[in-house]
Amino acid sequence: MIHTLDRLLALLITFTALSGSAQPPMATLTGEVVDIRTGQPVKEASLYLVPGNISLTTTSDSAGKFRMAAIPVGHYALRAAAVGYDTLEVPELLLRAGKQSEQRLELSPTGKELSSVTINPMAREQASPLGSQAFTVEQSLRWPSTFSDPGRLVAAFPGVVQVGNGANHLSIRGNGPNTNAWYLQGAEIVSPNHLGNAGTASDQPTSSGGGVNILSAQMLGTSQLLTGVLPPGKDNALGGILDMQLRNGNSSHQEWTLQADLVGLDVSTEGPIGKGGRSSYLVNYRYSTVGLLNAIGVDLGDEAVNFQDLSFHVTLPAGKRGDLHLFGLGGNSSNNFLANRDTTKWKTDKDSKDINFTASAGAAGASVRLPLKGSAIFSSTLVVSEGDQDRREDGLNKDFSIQYSTDIPFSERKISAVAEVEGAVGSRSGYAAGASATQRSMTTLIDSDLNGWLMRPWVIGRYSLTERLQASAGFGISYLTFNKDLVAEPRAGLEWKLPNGGKWALEYGVRALLPEWQVMNVQPVGQVGFSNHDIGMIRSHDLVLGMDLPIKKNMTLHGEVYYQQLVRAPLPYYANDTASLRGLSILNVWDLPIGSPLQNTGDAYNTGVELSVNHRFADHYYYAANATVYTSRYTDAHGDEYDSRWAGTWGMNLLGGKEFAKVKEAVTRTWGLSGRFNAGGGPRANPEALGAPQDPPVFDPGLWTVQLGATYSLDVRVYLKHDHQRRTGTWALDLQNVTNAQNPAYTYYDGRKGEMVTKYQLGIIPNVSYRLEF
C-alpha cells in the first residue's frame, strides 16, 4: 500500500511539473555555411534570426554546420555574416513545429573586413536583378488558389499572363506559351504537366503546360522564373524559363506531410539515409480526387478528370565537400467526355462526341556539384524526360454508331546534359564556362522522324570596375544538328550598386528557340515530298534596363523596361496564293498544327514596362503589387504589321495577406487571410473575313485583332494553423474567382447552334484542404 501511494505521488509530481512547464511549440533550424567559390566550410560565421533576440543566434562550427533549436514558430529572416564575406540574408523563412528547416548558406567573399561589406565581386553564373523572380514552397502555403502548382504560382509575377484559369499555360512578355521552357535541376525537360489539352480551344495536345504540374510545390527548393536576357547556361526560350529546383530532405530524422483536399490526396515523406548528416531522401505521391468538385456542383467542363504522380529526390555526399543528387518525377492523367445518350439533349457540337484524352510524362536524372582546386566549382546535370499524349474523338450518329473517328498523338523525348565550371580570379573578376547538349525527339500525327541535338558551348566573364560598378560579357553558340542551323549568342551587361543597397542594371543578349513542333509537323496535301525540316531557330535580341530600390525596411521597388526583337520567325509561303498569307505567323500558333510550307522570313517585337512593389512577409503581413503595360506586334508575309495573338496590352496583380497568431499553453494558433486580385486586357480572337456576310461565317485565321474584353478575378485563401509540439496541422479554404466573374477565354463557331459561341473561363472554384506535418 505504501509503495502504491509512493508511485501515485511520483506520477502526480511528474504530471504537475510537465503541466507547469508547458511551452509553446518550437521549431528547429539547421544547416551549413560554405564559401560560394570553393564549397569549403566557413567556420565561426554568425547566424541570427530577425525579428529575434539574443537567444536566437549561433555560430557555425569548424565544419560550417549550425543548429538553432527552441525557436518560436513563425516567419523570420535568417542572416549569416563572417569576416571577409558579404552578409547573406534569407527572407521569408517559415519555421513550423512539424517541419525542420535545413538551409545551405553560400557566402561570397568581399576581400574586405566585415564592416566594409559593399559589393560581391564574385562572378558566379547567377541571374542579375533583371528577369529573375524566385518562388518557394512557403509561398504556395500562403498565396491563394495555387493548387500546389509552380506554374500557377508564377502567374502572379509581373509580365506573366495565365492563358485561362483552368490550366498553367503562360504568356510571358507578349510571347506565346510554346515559347517557354521547363527546367529541372538546371536542365531542360519536356512539359512536366498533366492534361496538356486543358484550357485550349481545340482540346488538342500541347507542349507548353497543362491542368496541373506533375511536381507538387511541396517538393520545391528556391526556384526561379527567368525572363529577358537569360543566364548563359539557359536557352531555348523566347518567353521565360521555369527553373524548378528540388529541396533536400531532412538529414537528421524522418518527417511526414499528409494533405487531403478536393483536388487530390498528397503524401510526402523525407528523412536521413544512414549516418553522417549528409544524405537524405524526399518522396511525394499524389492521387487526384477532382471528381469531388464535380460532385458538389463545380463546373469543370463535364469531363471525368483523373491523375496521379510520384516524385523523389535523393541527396548523397560526393567526396568531402561535393553533393550528388538523384531525382525524378512521373505521372499519368486522363479526361473523358461521353456523349449524352439522350439525343434530345444534344444542343452543341460537342454533345454528340465521345472524347478520350490520355497523357503521361516523366523525367529522371542525376546532378553533381564538386569543388575544384582553387576558387572554382564544377557542376553537371543529366536528365532524360519523355511525354506522351493522345486524343481520340468519335463523332456519333443519332443511333450512336460512329460517324467518324480522329486520333491525334503527340510524343516528345528530351535527353539533356549540362556541365559548367565557375570560379573567381583574384578578388575582382570571375568567370563561368560550360556546355549543354539536348536531344529532342518527336513523334507526331504526320512525321515520326524528328530528332536532333541542340549543342550549346558558352563562356562569360565578370569584372568589378569599381566597388559599385560591375561589367560582364559572354558569348555562346546554339547549333541544331537536325538541319545544321547555327546561332551566335553574345551577351553583355553593366550593374551599378547603390550605397543604400539598390541596383541599376543594363543588359543585352541574343537567345534562340528551336522550331516548334507544329512547324515540323507538316506534309501539305498535293505537295508530295515537301517538309519544313529546313526551318531554323527563331532569334531574339533583348535589351533590358532595370532597377531594384529599397523603399524602407522589408519593402522594395522593382522596375524593368524591355525591348525584344524577334527575327527569322517562320511565315507561311504559297508561291501562287499570296492572298491567304494575310496576317499569318507561327508566333500566333499554339494548340493547333499547321498545314503549310514555311520560310524563316518573319519578324516581330515585344516592348513593355513592368513595375512592382513588394513588402516581404514581416510583422505578420505581406503585400505585393505589380503592373505591366506592353506591346506585342509582328509582320506578315506582305510586310503588314499587326497586334499578335498574345497582345493583352496590360496586366496587374494585387497580392497580400496577414496572420493573427495566439499562443495558448503548448499550442500556437494562427489565423491567416490572403487574397489576390488579377486583371488584364483579355484574350484575342479572329475577326470575320472581309466581304459579304456568310453563313456559317468565315474568319480570317491569321489575324487576332478582336479583343474579347478585359478579365478580372479575385482569389481568396483563409486558413487556420495549429502548431503543436512536433506537429503542425492546417485547415484551409481556397476560393478561386470568388466573385464568379465571367471572363472570356475564346470564341468558336458551333454548327449545331448555328452561331458564334464565347467560351468562358472557369467560375468560382472552392477547395477545402487539411494539411498535417509531423
Provide the CATH number for the domain around residue 54.
Answer: 2.60.40.1120
- Both 207 and 81 in one domain: the answer is no
- Is 245 a member of any domain? yes
- Both 68 and 187 in one domain: the answer is no
Residue 687, domain extent: 133-773
- Is 161 a member of any domain? yes
Is the C-alpha dihedral spanning 520, 439, 245, 475 positive or negative? negative
Residue 112: per-residue pLDDT: 44
User: What grid cell was written down for 180?
Assistant: 517557354
- Please report the DSSP string for 619-651 in residue order: TTEEEEEEEEEEEEEEE-TTS-EEE-TT---EE
- Is 265 a member of any domain? yes
C-alpha angle with apex 752: 749 to 757, nearest 5 degrees?
35
- Both 142 and 290 in one domain: the answer is yes
- Single out the residue in 47, 80, 114 at which a domain terminates: 114
Q: Is the Cβ–Cβ distance between 312 and 325 less than 8 Å?
A: no
Burial class (CB in 10 A: 0-12, 13-18, 19+), 390: middle
Residue 300: per-residue pLDDT: 63
- Single out the residue in 84, 114, 144 at which a domain terminates: 114
Residue 113: per-residue pLDDT: 35
371 prior amide bond cis, ω within 30: no
With cell 496535301, the residue in question is: 525
Stretch (H or E) spanning 19: helix 2-20
Please tell me the total count of domains within the chain. 2
CATH of the domain at 650: 2.40.170.20
pTM for the whole structure: 0.91
Under DSSP, the state recorded for 220 is B
3 state SS of 169: coil
Residue 5: per-residue pLDDT: 42
Neighbours of 438 (CB within 10 A): 23
- Both 170 and 53 in one domain: the answer is no
- Both 137 and 27 in one domain: the answer is no
- Is 5 a member of any domain? no
Tell which residue, 475, 472, 498, has the closest CA to residue 488. Answer: 475
What are the CA-CA distances from residue 728 to residues 72, 102, 349, 670, 720 (Å)? 13, 17, 50, 11, 11
Q: Which residues contact 127 (CB under 8 A, 6 or more apart)?
A: 224, 226, 231
pLDDT tens-digit profile of 354-403?
999 999 999 999 999 998 887 889 999 999 999 999 999 999 999 999 99
What are the CA-CA distances from residue 83 to residues 430, 464, 502, 574 (Å)? 21, 20, 23, 68
Q: How far apart are CA 74 and CA 328, in angstroms?
A: 31
- Single out the residue in 81, 114, 147 at which a domain terminates: 114
Q: How far apart are CA 73 and CA 79, in angstroms?
A: 17
Tell which residue, 351, 331, 334, has the closest CA to residue 342. Answer: 351
- Both 88 and 219 in one domain: the answer is no
- Both 423 and 532 in one domain: the answer is yes
Tell which residue, 140, 192, 151, 152, has the closest CA to residue 328. Answer: 192
Q: How far apart are CA 361 and CA 196, in angstroms?
A: 10
- Both 109 and 145 in one domain: the answer is no
- Both 27 and 99 in one domain: the answer is yes
Compute the 3-state secondary structure of the chain and give helix, strand, coil in percent, each to the nearest 5: 10, 55, 35
- Is 17 a member of any domain? no
- Both 577 and 481 in one domain: the answer is yes
- Computed on alpha carbons and rounded to an integer, the radius of gyration of the chain in Å comes to 27
- Both 85 and 192 in one domain: the answer is no
Neighbours of 154 (CB within 10 A): 23
- Is 309 a member of any domain? yes
Average pLDDT of adjacent 10-residue blocks, the chain of 774 residues: 45 39 80 85 92 78 91 91 90 88 88 35 43 89 92 96 95 97 97 95 92 93 93 93 96 94 92 88 92 64 86 94 95 94 93 96 97 89 97 95 94 96 87 96 71 95 93 97 95 94 95 83 52 89 96 93 97 68 88 82 97 94 97 93 97 97 91 98 85 64 90 98 94 97 93 91 94 96
- Both 107 and 138 in one domain: the answer is no
- Is 258 a member of any domain? yes
Neighbours of 79 (CB within 10 A): 18
- Is 12 a member of any domain? no
